[in-house]
Amino acid sequence: STSSVLSAEKDESPTSKDSTTEVASKKQEGIAETPKQKLLDIIGSMKVEVSYRKKLQQLKTREIKKQATKKLEGVDSESSMLQKTTEDTQRSKPLNPELVEAVSAVASSLPLNKKQTESELLAQLRRHEETTDKQKKGGTINIRNVISEMTVKRHSPAQKGVRVSSCISLKLDEDGQSIKPERLSPQSFDSRSLKVGRRLNIFTKASTETENALKTVSPPTIWDLEFAKEIAAVTAQPPRNGFEEMIQWTKEGILWEYPIDNEAGMEDDAEFHEHIFLEKHLEGFPKQGAIRHFMELVICGLSKNPYLSVKQKIEHIDWFQKYFEEKKEFIQEV
Amino acid sequence: MAAAALCWALRAARQVFPSPRTSQVRSYYVDWRMLRDVKRRKLAYEYADERLRINAIRKNTILPKELQEVADKEIANLPRDSCPVRIRNRCVLTSRPRGVKRRWRLSRIVFRHFADHAQMSGIQRAMW
């Protein structure tokens, strides 16, 4: 490409050098899907020493390459190139000797560090060869799928990083959602919403089994209770008025609950017949005699007692039964 | 989940440790006699049922007298402090054994002190 610039200055045959550049550019075009992008990348990666002359040359080469690619997009241009060039365009694993010649010519055209530029250009060509081989096999990354989802933002901030992130911004209507009905939840970005877009599947959903396993924890330790008490003490605000004071007292137990419940605190679930008819507990006693008489009196008294629970009454009767069993021998002596 | 556990812990704490109704002013018994009285009350509470049953056998006209004598011996074998007769209603604040009003559990001097400072609810100086 640079040779083409210099050909204007020199009186050498421009066609051969044009052909080399065109061949090289054609090959480059065959490599890249976005040839313009690739060419730009190549030019950017070319390590030419910085000087104003070089910059001018680079600009000129870029323009010429663009022109060349525009020409080459047509089929006829290819055939014309083939006609023009006597060299074979067939590729082989080792670099084409014609390309090597072209590289040497380009390197010679550049004023400084001919060997360095020659080696760099050769490396570039090798890379191109590799990528084309990979593409033939279908191993390279298919950029089309990624680019199809991308939309270029018009208003992008000056910084490069933000521009990159903005390039990867996803469309709103992909999942059939739009921001407007979701305005209830606060979102950090106004232009870009966090909930829109395809799932990345980076994180796996936590299984509910672990949650259930965690719920069946041992009863809370003393520290947990202390912590709970602390929280209750901190969060307990002093009562603002008399009503809140009375509520607090009722909770503590100082004040009764109104309307007054006569059976507050009493948890006797037994029916009245369990309190009164206690004869069924007298099965262990003899049916005749003083003891039976005595126990019937005991039962009569217990049935009239409203303060004892059924359990306590049964305990009384059982104690008497044990006592009289122990004293059985003594009683029989009498 | 943590919030649920915390709520459960709070509820348990409220049941196990209800918020205190009064703050304790002193953490000791006023004197040794009060302490002994406390011991007697505890024992009396423990042996109350047994004593009641044995007395029911003793104070009886139906059962044979031999049985009642045995019961007498049994009740005498119980610890001496278990009988409720030994409990003395002392003043709660000063441990004064005499001049104690049962309703307030306070001796007359303490009662008068609090009443004059308007710290007894519903108590007023009598005037008629």
What pLDDT, in 10s, does the model give residues A230-278?
999 999 889 999 999 999 999 999 999 999 988 887 777 888 899 999 9
The 10s digit of each residue's pLDDT in A239-251 is 999 999 999 999 9
State the smallest CA–CA distance between residue B63 and chain A in angstroms: 6
Are the C-beta atoms of residues B55 and B47 closer than 8 Å to each other?
Answer: no
Model confidence at A8, pLDDT cuts 50, 70, 90, reads very low
* Chain B residue with Cα closest to A291: B63
Residue B6 has its nearest CB partner, among A228, A236, A330, at A228
State the smallest CA–CA distance between residue B33 and chain A in angstroms: 31
**The two structure tokens encoding residue B48:** 């109350």
The interface predicted TM-score (ipTM) is: 0.75
Q: Does A252 touch chain B if contact means CB atoms closer than 8 Å?
A: yes
State the smallest CA–CA distance between residue A290 and chain B in angstroms: 6
φ/ψ (deg, to 5) at A88: -85, 140
Q: Does A228 touch chain B if contact means CB atoms closer than 8 Å?
A: yes
Rg (CA), chain A: 49
Q: Do A291 and B63 touch (CB under 8 A)?
A: yes
Mark A155-175 as b/e (b = at least 16 C-beta within 10 Å).
eeeeeeeeeeebeebeebeee
> pLDDT at position A160, please?
56
Q: Does CATH number 1.10.10.1100 belong to domain B30-88?
A: no
Mean pLDDT over residues B48-73, rounded? Answer: 93
Count of other CB atoms within 10 angstroms of residue A176? 6
Residue B53 has its nearest CB partner, among A231, A297, A320, at A320
Model confidence at A189, pLDDT cuts 50, 70, 90, reads low
Q: Does A238 touch chain B if contact means CB atoms closer than 8 Å?
A: no
> pLDDT at position A311, please?
92
Dihedral angle sign, alpha carbons of residues A239, A242, A244, A249: positive
| C-alpha span between B17 and B10 (Å, rounded) | 10
Model confidence at A55, pLDDT cuts 50, 70, 90, reads confident
Q: Do B1 and A215 touch (CB under 8 A)?
A: yes
Residue B17 has its nearest CB partner, among A227, A229, A320, at A229
Residue, of A155 and A145, whose pLDDT is higher: A145
The 10s digit of each residue's pLDDT in A66-82 is 776 666 555 444 444 44
Q: Name chain A contacts of B70, Cβ cutoff 8 Å.
A: 327, 330
Residues comprising chain B, all counted? 128
Q: Do B9 and A228 touch (CB under 8 A)?
A: yes
Average pLDDT of the residues of chain A = 72
Q: Name chain A contacts of B56, Cβ cutoff 8 Å.
A: 298
Are the C-beta atoms of residues A106 and A115 closer than 8 Å to each other?
Answer: no
**What is residue B101's three-state secondary structure?**
strand
Residue A169 pLDDT exceeds 80: no
Q: Which stretch, A146-155, A265-274, B99-108, has highest mean pLDDT?
A: B99-108
Q: Find residue B100's DSSP bridge partners.
A: B107
Q: Which stretches of chain B sit within 8 Å of chain A by CB?
A: 1, 4-6, 8-10, 12-14, 16-19, 21, 49, 53, 56-57, 60, 62-64, 66-67, 70
Q: Does A220 touch chain B if contact means CB atoms closer than 8 Å?
A: yes
Q: Name chain B contacts of A293, Cβ cutoff 8 Å.
A: 62
Are the C-beta atoms of residues B105 and B120 closer than 8 Å to each other?
Answer: no
| C-alpha span between A291 and A287 (Å, rounded) | 9
Q: Find residue B107's DSSP bridge partners.
A: B100
* Chain A residue with Cα closest to B13: A225
Q: Find residue B101's DSSP bridge partners.
A: B106
Q: Name chain B contacts of A238, Cβ cutoff 8 Å.
A: none
Among the ranges given (A7-16, A32-41, A218-227, A279-288), the one the predictor scored with the smallest mean pLDDT: A7-16
Give start-end residues of each CATH 1.10.287.1480 domain in chain B: 30-88
Q: Name chain A contacts of B57, Cβ cutoff 8 Å.
A: 294, 323
Q: Does A146 touch chain B if contact means CB atoms closer than 8 Å?
A: no
Short-list A250, A266, A323, CA closest to A291? A323
Q: Find residue A206's DSSP bridge partners.
A: none
Percent of chain B topping pLDDT 90:
75
A window 267-306, beta carbon within 8 A of B? 290-291, 293-294, 297-298
